[in-house]
């Protein structure tokens, strides 16, 4: 059996590298740093672009309200509008002509729009 040769103190593998290998290692480290810096710039650039706003991106609140507005039926509007101030009469209590007259009066009193009063009138005439 041969005894392993003892390494001298202060032995370094760098001492065994020639100057070409050292240059290659330095170039690889530089490339690595440039690659990491490029990735960081790409991420930061992406964050800036995604956080920036453009014109016409935002929608006015009134447009959203109109888009998601739930249409109420004539019967539902009749119950809500009439019961605010008094007990709602039965649709059978009056004929179509009377309901037209009453709806004109109540449109002003209840501050209803033309579309609302038209739906209410249609309901009352159909239920009459």
Which tens digit of pLDDT belongs to each residue from 83-122? 889 888 889 999 999 999 999 999 999 999 999 999 999 9
Res 1: pLDDT: 47
Flag whether the pTM goes above 0.75: no
Other CB atoms within 10 Å distance of the CB of residue 125: 17
Dihedral sign, Cα of residue 95, residue 101, residue 103, residue 106: negative
| Sequence-separated (6 or more) residues with CB below 8 Å from residue 85 | 109, 110
Residue 70 has pLDDT above 90, yes or no: no
């Amino acid at each position: 059996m041969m005894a392993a040769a003892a390494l001298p103190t202060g032995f370094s593998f760098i001492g065994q590298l020639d100057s070409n290998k050292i240059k290659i290692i330095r170039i690889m480290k530089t490339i690595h740093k440039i690659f990491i810096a490029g990735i960081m710039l790409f991420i930061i650039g992406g964050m800036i672009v995604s956080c920036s706003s453009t014109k016409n991106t935002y929608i006015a609140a009134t447009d959203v309200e109109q888009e998601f507005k739930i249409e109420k039926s004539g019967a539902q509007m009749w119950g809500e509008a009439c019961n605010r101030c008094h007990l709602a009469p039965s649709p059978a209590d009056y004929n179509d002509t009377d309901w037209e007259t009453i709806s004109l009066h109540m449109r002003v009193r209840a501050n209803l729009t033309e579309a609302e009063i038209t739906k209410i009138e249609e309901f009352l005439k159909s239920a009459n």
